[in-house]
């Protein structure tokens, strides 16, 4: 029976595009997808498995951790620390890099991840996901140092996410476009279902948390006011707002049918440069968006060009349809 192209087959075929490939990267991705299958299964079981609710702890950002945050974080660490493909790992849920066990060889890659993006939505059944970014270690074969992870997003060799919603999907790119895979539960395999995903340059949908409007800077106020004015405003057409509150879900919608996503800088705490984490959210999602023909900016600069200064650095994020992102950037420039 023909079941289509499996993720494992696709990874192997894509690896052949890189002369001299050793297969380490293919093995890394396959091990990571195993963790995503496990996390997806826990999300779908929810209350049946007793994994809903708060864990009673806070992460390094001071946010309350859910039980599934910790379960997902541990699942990725234990799926990846024994493989020999990695020199180190960092997670949104951990203060410092995770040390690879002493008995395991150090590899040539670094893994950065948000184990369960949108976890505040878990208890109400809204789509959540795992976001990941892969970099090359500056020096292969030795323990990674914190500074090794502070590479601009343009240096990513792979970025992607797993979506746990109406189905379990894996979306990723290694620089040759964006492809999506859907888990076929009966055989436990991800199957290629979305090839070379592209974002239209223009859109009539936007995603933003309107409850924060009073805190936005003037360029974003101007842009959103124009969209809300619809046919009666300067844009001369109506726009629809969609906001899930889970970055994975909002970005996935944009990859599938277009749109623009904004989590801009606001004035509540001028010392806090943004809400979303550069290494675990902004960089991998911006990489995917650009690979799909879109654009990603803080409003004043391209996200993938930012030189990180800390493991948990935050930035404003504006990404999606190229023409809309460029309009917001122009308003900031003005």
CATH value at residue 166? 3.30.540.10
Q: Is 2 part of any domain?
A: no
pTM of the complete model beyond 0.85: yes
> Is residue 291 domain-shared with residue 256, that is, in the same domain?
yes
Residue 90: pLDDT band (50, 70, 90) is: very high
* 209 and 243 Cβ atoms separated by less than 8 Å: yes
As a whole number of angstroms, the distance between CA 125 and CA 4 comes to 30
How many folded domains does the chain comprise? 2
**Enclosing H/E stretch for 111:** strand 109-117
For residue range 184-225, what is the model confidence (pLDDT) as tens digits? Answer: 999 999 999 999 999 999 999 999 999 999 999 999 999 999
Helix axes 218-229, 322-333, angle to 10 degrees: 130
As a whole number of angstroms, the distance between CA 238 and CA 124 comes to 30
Inter-CA distances, 65 with 49, 93, 121, 161, Å: 17, 8, 12, 20
Say yes or no to pLDDT of 161 above 90: yes
Last residue of a domain, one of 168, 194, 220: 194
> Is residue 266 domain-shared with residue 141, that is, in the same domain?
no
As a whole number of angstroms, the distance between CA 323 and CA 260 comes to 10
310 or 22, greater pLDDT: 310
Domain that holds residue 99: 7-194
CATH number of the domain at 297, please: 3.40.190.80
> Is residue 326 domain-shared with residue 289, that is, in the same domain?
yes
Q: Is 29 part of any domain?
A: yes
As a whole number of angstroms, the distance between CA 222 and CA 225 comes to 5
pLDDT at 116: 95
* 279 and 112 Cβ atoms separated by less than 8 Å: yes
CB atoms within 10 A of CB 85: 25
């Amino acid at each position: 029976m023909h079941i289509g192209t499996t993720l494992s087959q696709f990874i192997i075929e894509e690896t052949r595009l890189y002369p001299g490939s050793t297969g380490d990267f293919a093995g890394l991705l396959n091990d990571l997808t195993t963790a995503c299958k496990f996390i997806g299964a826990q999300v779908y079981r929810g209350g049946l498995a007793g994994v809903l609710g708060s864990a009673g702890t806070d992460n390094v950002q001071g946010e309350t951790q859910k039980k599934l945050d910790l379960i997902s974080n541990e699942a990725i660490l234990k799926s990846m620390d024994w493989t020999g493909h990695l020199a180190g790992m960092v997670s949104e849920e951990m203060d410092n890099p995770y040390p690879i066990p002493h008995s395991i060889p150090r590899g040539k890659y670094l893994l950065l991840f948000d184990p369960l993006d949108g976890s505040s939505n878990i208890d109400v059944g809204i789509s959540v996901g795992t976001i990941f970014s892969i970099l090359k270690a500056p020096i292969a074969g030795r323990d990674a140092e914190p500074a090794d992870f502070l590479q601009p997003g343009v240096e990513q060799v792979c970025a992607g996410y797993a979506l746990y919603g109406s189905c379990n999907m894996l979306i990723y790119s290694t620089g040759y476009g964006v492809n999506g895979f859907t888990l076929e539960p009966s055989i436990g395999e991800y199957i290629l279902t979305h090839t070379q995903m592209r974002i239209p340059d223009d859109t009539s949908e936007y995603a933003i948390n309107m409850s924060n409007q009073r805190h936005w800077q003037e360029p974003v106020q101007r842009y959103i006011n124009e969209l809300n004015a619809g046919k009666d405003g300067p844009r001369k057409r109506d726009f629809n707002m969609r906001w899930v509150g889970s970055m994975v879900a909002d970005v996935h919608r944009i990859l599938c049918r277009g749109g623009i996503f904004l989590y801009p800088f606001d004035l509540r705490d001028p010392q806090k440069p943004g809400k979303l984490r550069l290494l675990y959210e902004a960089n991998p999602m911006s990489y995917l968006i650009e690979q799909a023909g879109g654009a990603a900016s803080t409003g004043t600069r391209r996200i993938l060009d930012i030189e990180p200064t800390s493991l948990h650095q935050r930035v404003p994020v504006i990404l999606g349809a190229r023409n809309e992102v460029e309009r917001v950037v122009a308003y900031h420039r003005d």
